[in-house]
Amino acid sequence: MQMGENAATKNHHQHLNHNQVFDISVDVPTKAASKCFDDDGRLKRTGTVWTASSHIITAVIGSGVLSLAWAIAQLGWIAGPAVMFLFSFVSYYTSSLLADCYRAGDPNSGKRNYTYSDAVRSILGGAKVKTCGIIQYLNLFGIAIGYTIAASISMMAIKRSNCFHESGGKNPCHMSSTPYMISFGITEIFLSQIRDFDQIWWLSIVAAVMSFTYSSIGLGLGVAKVAATGTFKGSLTGISIGSTVTQTQKIWRSFQALGDIAFAYSYSAILIEIQDTIKSPPSEAKTMKKATVLSNAVTTTFYMLCGCMGYAAFGDLSPGNLLTGFGFYNPFWLLDIANAAIVIHLIGAYQVYCQPIFAFIEKWAGQKWPESEFITKEFKIPIPGFRPYNLNLLRLVWRTGFVVLTTVISMLLPFFNDVVGLLGAFGFWPLTVYFPVEMYIAQKKISKWSIRWVCLQMLSMACLIISIVAAAGSLAGVMLDLKTYRPFKARY
């Protein structure tokens, strides 16, 4: 928005464009693009390849990176890196297909699809829209739970590390994860009042910097451990059968490892929403593809380095969370910094993933009860030194309730590794592969049984099989956890 714009016009358009970025499909009167407005009549989008990349990196280099050493340990030196490259390629390729679905028809002037569900509605239609919406929002909801669990583990790691050193190693420093999940939830309640995606770009950049911080520390510690022992641990086929695991456990763990790696590359559920923040020209698809290439290259490099060096350092004993594997070794302050960076990153990543859910419910409520002041009225709250904050009662109550719900479920199900694998398996095939492939075929009018159609369907079927076996492995892990589980009593 230009600084010199008339204030009354500005306020009028801000009212019209409430929750602008993540709206579900609505007909917006089209007006000619101007200095302040895009071609769909909404406030000018300001996103660039850098902000889009930071959103993707924040979403992708999440806590999943810390489980990659464990995943490679299950698969070995040959299959582990190969599977990682495979998921990287599939993720990049299908993301490129999905980026072309932001506009229907012409890539420069076609009708915009503001959300993933909008793209499915305009290109595929029918029952697939509801199916996509349910899977997308359940996946985002699950990720919010997974991130709450991961953040509490890192907060406890800091506390235990300091406790361990103060007692000279005599106190095992066992503690409950519940207070840490509650403190994470309280932080998210405050941040969830940020209205929409465009306004959390700064949070994404901070989170992306934090992800590089803890990934680099994990990598550095892995290199140092390998240098200290003078050996690369691990084998070509992964964890040994016998003393460590049985043949059956090896199979289930290998399946679960696929889910963990799939989760580490999962961001398709919010790709269209990120693309809707990008300014044009050039076309949003062109910018998004550049952001996808950049973020995919960066994340794959970090994943390979962290996963492989973690496995080289610990071999068969690679932990589910790489940083916990270094225990309470010196320099313990460095591990504290890494764990603090994880917490800050997850605070931002939680918001990136939850914004689509927040906006969907708020838009739906606004359309259903347009006369309700509880839903539509904004109260200006003065903040000294800043612009007044627009408080909306629905946003306050609904988003607070959502964060409380995810926090309570996290306290009930504190199984980080298995939850991560299950989420990866559940969301990977439909959101990352099936819908992008089907939309691309429909939009480009690719004829059935042509070579390209057959190749795309083979890719989709192969990824479906991988998702099924990954889900089975993670489910087996959850069942194992439940044998020793007591509600709200998770201790470390």
Please report whether residue 425 resides in a domain.
yes
CATH number at residue 97: 1.10.4160
Query: Which structural domain range is residue 218 located in?
Result: 63-482
Please report whether residue 217 resides in a domain.
yes
Q: Which residue has the higher pLDDT, 320 or 421?
A: 320
The tally of domains found in the chain comes to 1
pLDDT value of position 186: 92
Q: Per the confidence metrics, is the pTM higher than 0.85?
A: no
Range scoring the smallest mean pLDDT among 230-239, 440-449, 461-470: 230-239
pLDDT value of position 209: 82
Please report whether residue 491 resides in a domain.
no
Please report whether residue 29 resides in a domain.
no
Q: Classify residue 317 as left (phi > 0), alpha (psi -120 to 50) or beta.
A: alpha
pLDDT band at 420 (very low <50, low <70, confident <90, very high): low
pLDDT value of position 454: 93
Please report whether residue 241 resides in a domain.
yes
Tell me the pLDDT of the chain averaged across its residues.
Answer: 77
Please report whether residue 264 resides in a domain.
yes
Q: What is the mean pLDDT of residues 96-100?
A: 86
pLDDT at 391 exceeding the cut of 60: yes
Please report whether residue 4 resides in a domain.
no
pLDDT value of position 128: 84
pLDDT value of position 192: 84
Q: Which long-range contacts (CB under 8 A, 24 or more apart) does 476-484 make?
A: 476/252, 476/255, 476/256, 477/252, 477/253, 477/256, 477/415, 477/417, 477/418, 477/421, 478/415, 478/418, 478/419, 478/422, 481/415, 481/418
Range scoring the smallest mean pLDDT among 368-372, 404-408, 450-454, 472-476: 472-476
Q: Classify residue 302 as left (phi > 0), alpha (psi -120 to 50) or beta.
A: alpha
How many Cα atoms sit within 13 Å of 334 on the Cβ side? 15
Those residues whose C-beta lies under 8 Å from the C-beta of residue 311, and which sit 6 or more positions away, are: 69, 72, 73, 77, 80, 233, 234, 318
Highest average pLDDT, of 127-131, 174-178, 316-320, 370-374, comes from: 127-131
Please report whether residue 334 resides in a domain.
yes
Highest average pLDDT, of 239-243, 456-460, 477-481, comes from: 456-460
Residue where the block lists tokens 């790691």: 157
